Amino acid sequence: MAGHILDKGYEVHVYNRTPAKAQELIDRGAVWQDTPGKLARNCDVVITMLGYPQDVEDVYAGEDGLIPNAKPGAYLIDMTTSSPLLARRLAERGKERGIGVLDAPVSGGDVGAKNAKLSIMVGGAKEDYEAVLPLLEIMGSNIVYQGEAGAGQNTKMCNQIAIASNMMGVTEAIVYAEKAGLDPKNVLKSIETGAAGSFSLSNLVPRMLNGDFEPGFYIKHFIKDMGIALDSAAEMGLELPGLKLAESLYQKLADADYADKGTQALYKLWEDKLI
């Protein structure tokens, strides 16, 4: 994602908790900064992609974080899948300092990021969204403004809820095909373009069938997302039985040491006879 912005001629500054992970970008001309605070003091726009809500809070609100050190009039765009409540709180803190804070989580996985085809769902002030839209369009092909702060995160929860049940469905379809004596790759040819078609069916099932369980999206992060969605639903008095089931199945995978594998490893529940 940062590489696409570099390719468009922008001056890009980078920070990562593991400096080696930024080396490829530095080799391409990006400028290294030692801390989030230094990054904020040198940039007009800062984009973050982190692991967990606590990471977001630390990087944004900590003493050497983004909000305390950002330039007045700067824009901070968090593309982490995080808590809607936290997104609203950080946007309010930013507003107090004259800083635009947007929540802009993405969908599309590693394939979407590499091909600049991400779906980006944005919450925050409309004028801030319009100001940074040209940057978002470099990374994604479907950018939608969803509303005030937190709306982007709530939209991502909708995305994750849909994926959770879909992943159960596509995995069960494949193990059913195998049990019925069918060639699952041949079955995929018939069902992926019909009413059952989905991103997961077309992009993750082939990895599953080839024994490729490396992460485009980590199971441990998916569990985190489902937990956020369930907590948010509970606040609204909403029951989501499908999501609860998906979370329990993925937690079983994590307990079997698959937390660092991709979501397509749901197949391992059947392959390893864990279910």
Over residues 191-245, the pLDDT tens digits come to 999 999 999 999 999 999 999 999 989 999 999 999 999 999 999 999 999 999 9
25 touches 14 (CB < 8 A):
yes
Looking at every residue in the chain, the average pLDDT score rounds to 97
Query: Which CATH number is 77's domain given?
Result: 3.40.50.720
The C-alpha R_g of the chain, in whole angstroms, comes to 20
- Domain extent, residue 58, equals 2-147
Task: Please indicate, yes or no, whether residues 96 and 137 belong to a single structural domain of this protein.
Answer: yes
First and final C-alpha spacing in the chain: 37
Cα separation of 45 and 26, whole Å? 18
**Are 182 and 247 part of one and the same domain?**
yes
Phi-psi region of 11 (alpha: psi -120 to 50; beta: other; left: phi over 0): beta
Task: Answer with the one of 103, 125, 147 that is the final residue of a domain.
Answer: 147
CA–CA distance from 221 to each of 25, 33, 229 (Å)?
Answer: 24, 26, 12
Report the CATH number at residue 218: 1.10.1040.10
Domain boundary among 126, 147, 168: 147
Residues 130 and 76 in one domain: yes
How far does CA 137 lie from the centroid of its chain? 17
Query: Is the confidence at residue 110, as pLDDT, over 90?
Result: no
Domain end among 125, 147, 169: 147
% of residues, the chain, pLDDT over 70: 100
pLDDT of 105 strictly over 90: yes
Pair 136, 163 in one domain:
no
Q: In this structure, are 9 and 142 located in the same domain? A: yes
Instruction: Decide if pLDDT at 18 tops 90.
Output: yes
Nearest to 158 by CA among 150, 169, 148: 150
Q: Tell me if 33 sits within 8 A of 9, measured CB to CB.
A: no
Percent of the chain with pLDDT over 90: 97
pLDDT band for 109, please (50, 70, 90 cuts). Answer: confident
96 and 161 belong to one structural domain: no
Which sequence positions are flagged as catalytic? 156
pLDDT in tens, 25-55: 999 999 999 999 999 999 999 999 999 999 9
So what's the pLDDT on residue 141? 97
Total domain count for the chain?
A: 2
User: Residue 12 has what pLDDT?
Assistant: 98
Query: For the chain, how are helix, strand and coil distributed in percent, rounded to 5?
Result: 60, 10, 30
Residues 122 and 233 in one domain: no
Do 141 and 23 share a domain, yes or no? yes
Query: Are residues 138 and 173 located together in one domain of the fold?
Result: no
- Position 65 scores a pLDDT of 97
Residue with tokens 């001056």: 11
